[in-house]
Amino acid sequence: MGKEAGYSFNMDVKLSDTMDSHRIYLLAEKQDLGEPLAEEVSRRYFEDGALLADRRMLLDVARSVGVTGGEEYLDSENGYEDVRASLREAQRMGIHSIPVFIFQYAGEVLKITHGSSSIQEFEQVLRELPGLISKQKQSDKCPYLPNVEASFIGFLPTTSC
């Protein structure tokens, strides 16, 4: 499915500690640079097989997208509790792996679909979404999924329509 969408996934990527990658993302978000950082870290991980625990890679990406203070931030205790709180919330929602897609409307989670789902499962979710939103709340802004926010978690940004 990834190839059909233009992605080349490296299936031999090694797992590593992701704490610092989450922490540097928090710093980038504070500087309104979360999206470009997430995109490049995701590319380096999913396509190049870079380790998410590789501080040199994380700091290189941070600098390349304009994040300042990355080294000092990672050398501090900043962000640890925020990441742990996010992980607790993800577990509460039934999220156990990435990538995952979270479809929301007006702050309410409508569906959660893991990236390992089949194309047929994704199609089913996309067919169900309009019925989960009351017709009165729909707008013409996005005719297929009006005002539905789709988040791709795996270090990719939140996109809305």
pLDDT digit string, tens, across residues 90-132: 888 888 777 788 888 777 788 888 878 888 998 888 888 877 7
Q: Does 18 share its domain with 82? A: yes
Q: Does 78 share its domain with 33? A: yes
Mean pLDDT of the chain: 80
Q: Does 77 share its domain with 114? A: no
Residue 71: the pLDDT is 97
0.85 exceeded by the pTM?
no
Range of the structural domain that residue 122 is part of: 100-160
The torsion angle over the Cα atoms of residues 140, 117, 151 and 157, rounded to 10 degrees, is -120
> In the structure, what pLDDT confidence band is assigned to residue 82 with cuts at 50, 70 and 90?
very high
Q: How far apart are CA 23 and CA 2, in angstroms?
A: 27
Q: What is the DSSP letter of 14?
A: P
The two tokens of residue 113 are: 């679909």
